[in-house]
Each structure stands twice: as C-alpha cells, then as structure tokens.
Amino acid sequence: MIAQRPYPVEPWVVRETALDLDLLPQSESLFSLSNGHIGLRGNLDEGEPYGIPGTYLNSFYEKRPLPYAEAGYGYPEDDQTIINVTDGKIMRLLVDDESFDIRYGDLHEHHRRLDLRSGLLERSVDWTSPGQTRVRIRTRRLVSLSQRSVAAIEYIVEAVDTETRIILQSELVANGEQPPASKDPRVAATLEKPLVAAGQDHDGQATVLLHRTKASGLLMGAGMSHVVEAPGREQISSAVREDWARYTIACTLEPGERLRVVKFLAYAWSGTRSEHAIRDQVASAMAQAQFSGWDGLIADQRAYLDEFWEAADVEVEGDAELQQAVRFSLFHVLQSGARAERRAIPSKGLTGPGYGGHTFWDTEMFVLPVLTYTQPDAAADALRWRHSILDRARARAQELYLEGAAFPWRTIRGEECSGYWPAGTAAFHINADIASAVMRYCAATADEAFEIDVGLELLVEIARLFMSLGHHDEQGGWHIDGVTGPDEYSAIADDNVYTNLMAARALVAAADMALRHPSRARELTVTTEESAAWRGAAASVAIPYDEELGVHEQSKGFTSHAEWDFTGRRAYPLLLHFPYFDLYRKQVIKQTDTVLAMHWCGNAFTSEEKARNFDYYERRTVRDSSLSACTQAVLAAELGHLDLAYAYAHEAALTDLLDLQQNSRNGLHMASLGGAWLALIAGFGGFRDHDGVPAFDPVLPEGLTRLRFSLRWRDLKLRVDVEPHQVTYSIRDHGPATLLIRHAGEEALVSDEEPLVRPLLPREPLLPTPQPPPGREPFNPHRPTSM
C-alpha cells in the first residue's frame, strides 16, 4: 500500500498536491473519467511521462488465440482484450521552443483535483523552463454524462514575467506506445499496434481518424475540433496522417496574457456499420459538442451529477476519510455504467487494462446492487446487455451438453474467454448471479415491461441450465456437482452452498415470473410441469452441513480437508506463491463464499447458524481478492462484531485510494468500490431485500456518529438517517406517497407526510469476535499495516 497518504481528505474532492512519479500509474487510475462508453485515464495532458496510456471504448476489443499446452473439448479458442484506442487527450506545449515536460526545468507547483460534484478533472501547474521562461498552465477535462460520445478539454497557458513564444500542439494518436506487460496473470497482455488505418477526414476545422482492429474487425472513429482564444495574432496549421492528426496553434504572450484552447473530442465504434456511418456519427457528436460549448457541457455535467447525488449520496459523520472514500466509490461506479447502454460493465470499468477489460460476476453482485438503488436505468441496461448475448450463452450451453444458457465467466462481447476451467466455466454460479440481479432490479422497480421483454427469458434459460446441471439422488435431494463457488481456492466441488442456494432462488424466481406473465411464458415454451420441476428442485436442494462442527460446509466435504499451515505459509496473495493443487485440497479461502451466501440468501440461515459459520470461515479467509472485505463487513455488522465490520468497511472503501492490493495502476476495483457502498448500507444500514420489501436493521460502530443515505424504491426516494439511538425513515418525494418497510423485523409504513422514527436496537454478538488468519488482519486506517 501507499506509505504516505498522497491525497488529502476532503468531502467532495480527491486532490493531488504534488506530483510523485512513483505514484503516477495509480493516480492515472484514480483520476480516470468515463461515462460507461468512453474512458480516459488520468494521464498528464502532454502525454508524457506516463504510467499506462489509456483511452478506451466500452466493448471495443481485439482478439487473439488462447494458448494451450494441451487443448481439450469445450476450451475457449480466443481471448478478447480491451485496447488503447486513438488518444485525443494529448496537448503538447512548447515554451520558447522548449517542450513542457515536468521532468525538466523547475516545477514550482503541480496540483490535480477530481471534483466529484462537477465531474471535472482540474490541473494547475507553475513551471519554469530550462531556459528560465516561466508559465502557468490550467487545464480542465470532462467526459460528458449527457452527450454519450463526447469528451472535452480546456487548456490555458499564461505567460508570467516575460514575453513568451507559445506553440500548442493538439493531437490524435493511434497505436501509441504501451509499457511492457506485467508478469502478473491478472494484468492484460499488451497488444502491439492493434489498429489499422481505415480512413481520414479533415476540413481544416475538424479531423476524424478511422481505424479497424486487425483480428476482431471492429471499426472506430475518433474526432477533434477546437475553439481558440488568443490575445493577439495567432497562426494555426494542421496535418493528418494514417495514425495521427495534429492541430498547431502558435502565438506570442505578454506577461499576464493567456492562450485558451477548448478541444472537443468525439468517439464512435461498431462491428457492423460502414465507415461513412461512423465518420458521420463522430462529426455529428463534435457538432453537438461545439453547439453546447464548453460552458454548456459543464452546466449539463453538473446538472446530471446534482440529480445523481440528490438521490444517491451517502453522508458519514465522524469519519472524514470514509466519507471521502464512499463518495469516490459512488462516483466511479456511476461512471462505469451511466452511459454503457447495453454493453458490459468491465471489472475495472474504463479506468485501465486490468483483466483485459473483461466483465465477470462482479458486475451483478457488487456493482449492479449500487446502480439498482441509485441509478436503476443503468442497471437495467447492464441486464439488457446480458439478454443481448443470450444466443451465445445458449450456444455455449449446447457445447457443454446442457440446456438453457451458460453465461461466460469472463468476456467482453459474450464469448467465453477464460482458458482455465476451474476458475472459469466451472464457476456456474455466475448464471445465478445474473438471475439474482434480475430479481433485485424487478423487486426494486416493479418494471413490468422489463420483466416481459428481458427478465423472464433470462430467468427461464438460467433455470433450464441449472435443471440440466443438477440431479436428484435416490432420496429426492437435488445436487449440483463439479462446480467452483466464489472461493476460487476450492474448485470442482460438489454442492457448493452459495451456488446451490442461489440456483434454488433463481429456479423459484423463474417459476414465479412465469406465473405472473403466462402469455410470455407460453412463448418461451414454459409448461406447468417444467415450472413445477423448478420448484421441486429448489425445495429439495442439498445444503451440506457438518453436524459435529455445527457449521455449513462451503461445499460437500470441505470441513474434512486439511487445514492450511498459516505459521509458515503466508506469502500473500497465495495464488502467486503456492500451486493451485495445494490450495484446492486445503481449508483456505480466497474470498467469502458461505459468508456471501449468508448476505444474499440470509433468510436461509438462522442467527445462530450465521454466527457459527462466520466464526468458522473468518479464520480461514485470506482475502486475496478485493471482493471479500465488503461482504465480511456486512456479516460482521449483522452479527455484532462492529469493530471488525468497521475495519473491513475501511478496507473495501480505501482499496484504490491507498492501493491496498498494490495493483490499482492497472485500473480501479469496481467491485470493491461498489462494496464500499454495500459495507455501509447493507452493513451498518442493515439493508436487505430478500422478499420484495426493503428491510433495515441499522447499527453504528464506534467512530461513526451518523449515517444518512437514500435508496430509490418503486419510483420513490427513501431517506434513512441513522443516529446513535434512533433511525428516521422519510420519503423525499412530493406526495401522496407511502412505502411499506421493515425495521428490525417489524413492518411499518413510511409516508411523505411524516417521518417514521424507530429506536436503534442493541447488537450483542452470540460469539466472541473471530480472528482472521495470521497476517490477514483487516486494514485499520488508524494503525500501520503490512498489507
């Protein structure tokens, strides 16, 4: 992790007060701007120095063959990797013929500021060149949330104490140099020069470059246009080549005079549309951006974010660092999906090349819960993307001799890209996770059109998959064998508790939704007998339980495995230091599995079972994944281990701000960012939605004096205000409006006319707080750590 906190704690801003080149790759991720369609890493405007240059378009990828030492039936053939597309961020500055480069001359000041309310990345620089010419530079950058295809940059140069010759070169660059690939298998392999020129268009004012990928055959266009304000005479020229375009402004500034340039960028891509269509789409987006102007884009951005924060903000009193972190998390989760519009939400968003730009189950279980209750349209679009790849999922199921649809473990466009079966296709729980996201969205929104058009078909095909994957034994029990649950240190196991419970919920949900929409169900050939079989399997699902230990087994036989030797074998993460075969046969857990089941299927366990299970698995979970801490926070809070929950909440929220996993350079951890929200709202807010009624059982740990948050539920904005001795529920809409909720298990009605006030009930743990494995104590912001 970062030894010193480089970003001061502020409620609405992430600020870099000095430039540390060692932290440059991480800050590029933190300062990324995106709208779910376009992603710009927080690279310096001049392009150099850099950690990882990055400009991304959602789902724009290159493919390459997956290498196998020995191939087998059903192995995916191709990988899909997100690529760095044409970079429009570059603004090269020459001061009296010397290039502005922060590594040379005297850097008096270098500040960057990510404003979470305005959505702007701001930069201020005070620099003296090696030739002793001093300039001040101010830049602002945005990726528009209101105009999906647009980004913009404002670049201002001011002469300080002498007449200064200025040359500013605004560029579009394709196939830019990339840093060497990491040996870490979690980092995407670098693809060299993946773009092939397909055309250029330049009219003196605007430029468009068209490129195709070599193997996947996708077509993209990038365009730029400018507004120039100079105090006197300026000279403007331009040049265009296959892989770059340059717009050059030359002028002379007297002390105190400024050159201001606004650069409008537009991007578009397609796998089917013509070059003319993409060129016209880019040109149209640039024209709309110019029509709005810089001030108009800023105003639209602020209006969009004002509406978002009004319904989504989480207010934390008593812990300024956690307050900043949860708003940072919400901002980036919003950016990951706001305008993705029926494309995948990658595990890193559009903040870096980590994991090749793939989407996993993280989206449905950690990101979509946040969007469902704060930005439901974005959650619906993410699920419509899953629906759009249904035919590929059906084809994959047929390849595996299964019914229904088998969704890929990792993908960009819908094909399976995981070349490692135990941590890929065998993780069939991803299908239940998608079903869970459908159920959650439908319960929270009552979107009947979505159920009919999208939800029911997804649930039906997932139910059919699990029915063909599972089997009944002679006693009538229903089992799912040979699968990998969320814990990737236990693979190809029978009756994984999480998978079985989530599959059972999906089966019942499919039957219930088919009953609500009989006409659509008939179109999908769902019969009464099939629906009854789904309910029967769910009712008889096998849930392994160790009677002697009094705990649920993560999977059948798990508690009989040998224990991991934590005294001499604790080089973390374990997957980079020990062979998988050794991990698979020991009681060591990468990330929460049974504990995750107790969060999302909590009504399947008693309080006593939860307490014993948490105690058992907490001692064996090493958290070699950023997905784990938030779930441990949720269950620790529910069970009364408030100090432990508080530490886990900090770890989830500060994963990227403090680089706790030491890989934020490759992109932010969207699941952990979503998990920060879950740790607070599901943990200390006690929020659950098991049966279509929002339920709360809040608690405050020592260190928090107040927690306020809002949820969108059925077109209403429910406000929850947790204080040390009471919680107040109110509806923030013009009435008349009422909402049925549960507080600490008791039903109550909230109306817009009068807030509902209930006491905070004491939370006494049934068991002492368990100890995590040696060396894996959760991050505590108030003490040094070795993580």
DSSP assignment string, 604-636? GS-HHHHHHHHHHHHTTB---STTHHHHHHHHH
As a whole number of Å, the end-to-end CA separation of the chain is: 6
* Cα(662)–Cα(671) distance, integer angstroms: 16
DSSP state of 116: T
b or e along 519-537 (b: 16 or more beta carbons within 10 Å of the residue's beta carbon)? ebbeebebeeebbebbebb
* Cα(328)–Cα(115) distance, integer angstroms: 9
Helix, strand, coil shares of the chain as percentages rounded to 5?
A: 35, 25, 40
Do 683 and 701 meet the contact criterion of CB atoms below 8 Å apart? no
Distance, C-alpha 66 to centroid of its chain = 25
Distances (CA, A) of 495 to 213, 332, 508, 543, 558: 43, 36, 18, 7, 10
* Cα(723)–Cα(744) distance, integer angstroms: 15
Question: In which order are the strands placed within the sheet that holds 164-173?
Answer: 98-99, 91-95, 164-173, 244-253, 234-240
* Cα(216)–Cα(683) distance, integer angstroms: 43
| 3 state SS of 748 | strand
Among 480, 429, 435, smallest CA distance to 457 is for: 435
Among 690, 480, 497, smallest CA distance to 589 is for: 497
* Cα(587)–Cα(309) distance, integer angstroms: 43
SS3 letters for 461-510? HHHHHHHHHCEECCCCCEECCCECCCCCCCCCECCCHHHHHHHHHHHHHH
What residues have CB less than 8 Å from 224, skipping those under 6 apart?
88, 170, 172, 206, 207, 245, 247, 263, 264, 265, 266, 286
Please identify which of the residues 488, 530, 553, 651 carries the catalytic annotation: 488
Which residues pair with residue 261 across a beta bridge?
155, 228
Place of tokens 């236990």: 490
Among 184, 176, 188, 171, smallest CA distance to 53 is for: 176
Q: Is 78 exposed, middle or buried (0-12, 13-18, 19+ CB in 10 A)?
A: middle
Place of tokens 């949900």: 509
Place of tokens 């299970």: 613
Q: Residue 254 catalytic? A: no
- Counting every residue, how long is the chain? 787
Give phi and psi for 338, each to the nearest 5. -55, -50
What residues have CB less than 8 Å from 171, skipping those under 6 apart?
47, 87, 88, 90, 91, 92, 244, 245, 246, 247
Give phi and psi for 335, each to the nearest 5. -60, -35
- Beta-strand pair 562-563/586-587: parallel
Catalytic residues: 488
